[in-house]
Structure 1
Amino acid sequence: MPELSRTSNGRNIDPASALRDCRTAFIGVGIASALVNILYLTGSFFMLEVYDRVLPSRSIPSLVALSLLALLLYAFQGAFELIRGRMLVRIAGALDESLSGRIYRALVKAPLKLRMQGDGLQALRDFDQVRSFLSGAGPTALFDLPWLPFYVAICFLFHPVIGFVAIGGGLVLSLLTYLTNRNTQAPARKASEAGGQRNAFAQASQRNAEVVQAMGMTGRLTRLWESRNAEFRDQNRRTSDIGNGYGALSKVFRMALQSGVLAAGAVLVIEGEASPGIIIAGSILTARALAPVELAIGNWRGFVSARQSWQRLKELLKVLPEAESPLALPSPRESLSVEGLASGPPAAQRLIFADISFTVRAGSALGVIGPSGSGKSSLARALIGVWPAYRGSVRLDGAALDQWDSDALGSHIGYLPQDVELFAGTVAQNISRFAGDATPEAVVAAAKAAQVNDLILRLPSGYDTEIGEGGAALSAGQRQRVALARALYGDPFLVVLDEPNSNLDAEGEQALSEAIMNVRARGGIVVVIAHRPSALASADLVLMMNEGRMQAFGPKEEVLNKVLRPQPVRAPALTIGAEGQEAAQ
């Protein structure tokens, strides 16, 4: 069996290259298909010999010899069929091995770069669709189709009339194939889109199950679900009806054609222009000649879906190319500089904040304050590089974030988002960011830095406790403290904490303050997005934001005195435009 080429981890490989790497295997499938199709002649020639030689001669030994030969040829045909099927499965596996890592990275990167629709998992479903098609019966039909002229030529050797009947049948089935392709493309695409929207709604409902149940929303959401599901069902049914209709029509036509060949052969025998064996042999051969066309029509829906999925994958990976690894930079140790920064949601080209400039030196902690919707969380996302810098830059020791390899940069950054999401696995795996080379000492050190070691040791299995999907086995406060330990793992230089005390009690807030002081003591930088003053206890600098603009920056006491000093008249309410309200948090 030809060896399949593989590319390690799927890095720097595109779908077209992945297919080219499998070209040797595809050639092997083509050779196996050639042998299978030649061996398919066994039945026709066996019947021809039986009717034209065995029956007239009444020779039992000849019949036994022919039967043994046919049995041997059938065994070879079955072996080549098995080899061909296994090769296609391995081609699908090779594509999976080559592209799965690349697709996963694109899947993770897409929400940060593109405007996503549905549940964001369409690329994964597309890849599954392509892999399933390659492993099924569809490709064998495509490899068998080019052999149609070969069978037609054999039919002409039997008799021109049989050959012309086979050509006519082939033309009709080809027309049915074209109509199947044309009429299933649009419904298949709409069914895929409707399915993505339906799945996204279902996942949102699961994430908010407590709210749905507590607030009596189940009935109303069920009606919305039924509406989305009906759209998916209708499009799916339409696609199936079209494919099944043309498939049934082609099957009936092929059966009728086979009977027509029998009738034509009988006429030829009556007229003395052909032998009796031609009747049966021609019928079998014509049916075999048109079988790939019928099989192709039956699998056309899968082919159309796989082709559309492959095209979407190519477009996604084209707009999310793998960047070449830049020159490795030394670990940052001195400063965080923000220069005229303006940013907003990925792919939206809409600014949430602008003209932010400040510099924080190693050993400092910056507290970012301001009313809700002022752009604080948006600034946090831009500082760690997950939101683009439409203007200006964020620099660590003078190097802009885009000058770093993403994995290398991640080792220097710790991030605690507002909405904490942990992964299924152990506490230790989550703290270590699922690093394969994580040492127990580093994990425990991060937990102690977050003042969460004692809490973890009281869990049923300590650091080996399985926390479940999304950290379901932990309370909100426990998840936040474990996520803080994850942010501190590996002693990152820049630690960005977005509302880190939103779910913490007094003990947790004290632990947070100590963690911030420890980062400062070892020469790191902390940026704390805060609503509650207690989060600023360990900060020495404060940045005030309002309506996406920087209002003040400087030492904590100076800025707070300026912001919080009594006003002789009632201060106007801090407001934000609709644009900022929509995406700032």
Structure 2
Amino acid sequence: MSGMDRTLLTQAYRKIGRGLLLAGALTFFVNILMLVVPLYTMQVYDRVMSSRSLETLTMLAVISVGGLVLYGVLDFIRARAFLVCGAVIAHRFNVPALQAAIVDALGGGTRNAGQTMRDLNDLRNFMTSNAVVVPLDLLWTPIFLVILFILHPIYGWIAVGSALLLLTMNALTDALTRRPIAEANEASAKVFADVASTVRHAEAIEAMGMLPPLARRWQMAQIGSASLIDRGVVLSRGMASASRSLRLILQIATISAGAALVIRNEASPGSMIATGIIMARLLQPFEHLVENWRQWVVAQTAHKRIRELLNGEGARRSTMPLPRPDGRLAVDRVSHVPKGLQRPVLRGVSFALEPGEVLGIIGPSGAGKSTLARLLVGIWEPTAGGIYLDGTSTFLWERESFGQYVGYVPQSVALLDGTIGENIARMAQADPAEIVRAARLAGVHDMIGRLPFGYDTPVGENAFALSGGQRQRIALARALFGKPRLIVLDEPNSNLDHEGEQALLTAINHARRDGATIVMVAHRPSIVSVADKLLVLKDGMVEHFGERTDVLKMVQPGGAVKVARLVRTGESA
């Protein structure tokens, strides 16, 4: 997480803290005003009934109604304070959490971005629920204890004993349910993540009849998750029921004690009734703490996951945008060991390109070509060495401005949920003329025009189905959008037909004349011919680098034939 993100989150926590302090102060006055009804009842029984004074009754009623109206207003303001705290969580945490989830995914992490968003939603819902009020109500329970001791010490000691019993029930609830509920939440999150991953491969599943075994696997996982959830819910509900029964028994004990005191003339009938009301209010937060314990555990688990994600090792990026580069690319002794591996995929790779040059990267499968492509655009940080665009590290470069100067077509093309126009414009507001320009450069303008809604045709996982070649050509248009200075193409013609490949070669030549530096991982020999320079990777090291004709001579005997063989066998790296 960057320093700016940490500052924003610190400010968010401070704002939430101020909101909770306000809610705590309001809770004090709300609890004081909740004494209106028992005090009114006591006065009616002890004063009005004996004096038979309607004037006293009217005055007490007017004062009580005024107090209860004020109670409603303050309770509403307190609810609004919690609502604002929930909104702060949604507005201040969502972008840093999403960024952290993406960085974690790029680094090979296992956290799910969808689960992160669900965790934020759970936290927001918790902040606006009744469960969050319980600790604040508990904070002011001494007020009711003092009142009960004033009415009679026996009332006070019964209240103390009742509170201790319910606190014991709460501790027992925590000990019995915390772990089962946390395990159930984790299992449920994993089941949903597995289902989402499975659905993304629907075509292969349907074509090869994989649905029945996958359904059995999911059913077994679902049964395990449901079993854990049932266990946690049963324990939580059981303890809540026991807590309610205990509270009612304690209220009976209070009424019995009050009746005994009235019989012995040690307390008035009004105080006995008022004590029952106050006792019920005093014990209510303790009971609710037991009932809402599952919500607390869910919220704590969600907050823990979000904190771990945000406090994880984020990408060390600059926050200052840089001006548009010329396109000079320098790769200096780059080595890279992917997360979870011990052996480097790239070792000591060095080369340099000037603006307007086209480099073709070839080599056998597993040579590290795609890894190098990802490093060039700053997706990963080199383990050793550096990659520099106009002297600035492509990894450290501030991402939004860097994205304006770089075009990238990954090996596995994916279009985001949105329209074709939005995808070409990289999901930003853009001049339609620039979108059309990029599409024409990629030779995809006419194809888009034949789609149902043209540039407004929705695409993505749940929208209009495009062929692999169509997606690849739209991805090329996206890479060319905005006249980037560095263009990295990882097997850009793997799904293209002859027409699409010719359009790709035309686009590369146009970008070269425009002064862009172009790096392409070759999949077919045909696009090697457009390269000014060739780099041959083998076992993660540079075997040959130089002008295309010179490299062709160095790989003799066989020349272009051997290069074609290297290209054909290097389908992935």
Q: Deviations over 1:391-418 (max 9, x none)?
A: 1111112322244212222222110012
1:309 Cα deviation (Å)?
2.1
Which residue among 119, 124, 129 is the counterpart of 1:131?
Answer: 124
- Taking the aligned partners of 1:221 and 1:321, their CA distance within structure 2 comes to 35
Change (3 A) 1:238 1:406: same
User: Does residue 1:480 correspond to 2:472, yes or no?
Assistant: yes
Give the secondary structure class of the aligned counterpart of 1:319: coil
User: Does residue 1:494 correspond to 2:486, yes or no?
Assistant: yes
Give 1:300's aligned residue.
Answer: 293
- Taking the aligned partners of 1:49 and 1:417, their CA distance within structure 2 comes to 79
Which residue among 369, 387, 397 is the counterpart of 1:376?
Answer: 369
Give 1:164's aligned residue.
Answer: 157
Contact kept in structure 2, 1:44 and 1:281, CA below 8 Å: yes
**Aligned pairs for 1:128-527 within 5 A:** 128-320=121-313, 325=318, 328-346=321-339, 350-436=343-429, 438-469=430-461, 472-527=464-519
- Taking the aligned partners of 2:114 and 2:343, their CA distance within structure 1 comes to 25
Q: Deviations over 1:370-427 (max 9, x none)?
A: 2222221111111111122001111112322244212222222110012111112222
Give the secondary structure class of the aligned counterpart of 1:86: helix
Aligned length: 563
- Taking the aligned partners of 2:415 and 2:250, their CA distance within structure 1 comes to 62
Change (3 A) 1:144 1:419: same
Q: Deviations over 1:3-26 (max 9, x none)?
A: xxxxxxx84535443121233332
**Relative to structure 2, which stretch is displaced further, 500-509 or 444-453?**
444-453
1:263 Cα deviation (Å)?
0.3
- Taking the aligned partners of 2:394 and 2:460, their CA distance within structure 1 comes to 33
User: Does residue 1:101 correspond to 2:101, yes or no?
Assistant: no
Which residue among 10, 31, 36 is the counterpart of 2:30?
Answer: 36
- Taking the aligned partners of 1:472 and 1:530, their CA distance within structure 2 comes to 29
Change (3 A) 1:334 1:273: closer
Change (3 A) 1:326 1:148: closer
- Taking the aligned partners of 2:329 and 2:5, their CA distance within structure 1 comes to 31
Contact kept in structure 2, 1:11 and 1:101, CA below 8 Å: no
Contact kept in structure 1, 2:493 and 2:523, CA below 8 Å: no
Change (3 A) 1:143 1:184: same
Give 1:55's aligned residue.
Answer: 49
Q: Deviations over 1:105-151 (max 9, x none)?
A: 2122221235224x343322222221111011112111111111111
**Relative to structure 2, which stretch is displaced further, 176-185 or 212-221?**
176-185
Give the secondary structure class of the aligned counterpart of 1:223: helix
- Taking the aligned partners of 1:423 and 1:552, their CA distance within structure 2 comes to 37
TM-score normalised by structure 2 residue count: 0.92
Q: Deviations over 1:191-242 (max 9, x none)?
A: 2321222122101211111111111111100111012212221222222222
Give 2:15's aligned residue.
Answer: 21
Give 2:78's aligned residue.
Answer: 84
Change (3 A) 1:409 1:187: same
- Taking the aligned partners of 1:230 and 1:350, their CA distance within structure 2 comes to 40
- Taking the aligned partners of 2:268 and 2:423, their CA distance within structure 1 comes to 78
The residue type paired with residue 455 of structure 1 is: M
- Taking the aligned partners of 1:178 and 1:18, their CA distance within structure 2 comes to 31
The residue type paired with residue 425 of structure 2 is: S
The residue type paired with residue 333 of structure 2 is: G
The residue type paired with residue 502 of structure 1 is: S
**Aligned pairs for 1:512-551 within 5 A:** 512-551=504-543
- Taking the aligned partners of 1:201 and 1:188, their CA distance within structure 2 comes to 20
- Taking the aligned partners of 1:136 and 1:311, their CA distance within structure 2 comes to 19
Q: Percent identity?
A: 38
1:165 Cα deviation (Å)?
0.4
Give the secondary structure class of the aligned counterpart of 1:495: strand
Give the secondary structure class of the aligned counterpart of 2:542: strand
- Taking the aligned partners of 1:557 and 1:193, their CA distance within structure 2 comes to 57
Change (3 A) 1:347 1:86: farther
Change (3 A) 1:334 1:43: closer
The residue type paired with residue 482 of structure 2 is: G
Contact kept in structure 2, 1:115 and 1:347, CA below 8 Å: no
- Taking the aligned partners of 1:122 and 1:320, their CA distance within structure 2 comes to 19
- Taking the aligned partners of 1:64 and 1:523, their CA distance within structure 2 comes to 89
Change (3 A) 1:191 1:349: farther
Q: Deviations over 1:479-515 (max 9, x none)?
A: 1111100001111111111111111111000000111
1:37 Cα deviation (Å)?
0.3
User: Does residue 1:67 correspond to 2:42, yes or no?
Assistant: no
1:440 Cα deviation (Å)?
1.8
- Taking the aligned partners of 1:564 and 1:176, their CA distance within structure 2 comes to 82
Contact kept in structure 1, 2:377 and 2:395, CA below 8 Å: no
**Ranges in structure 1 where 5+ consecutive residues have no aligned partner:** 1-9, 575-579
C-alpha RMSD of matched pairs (Å): 2.5
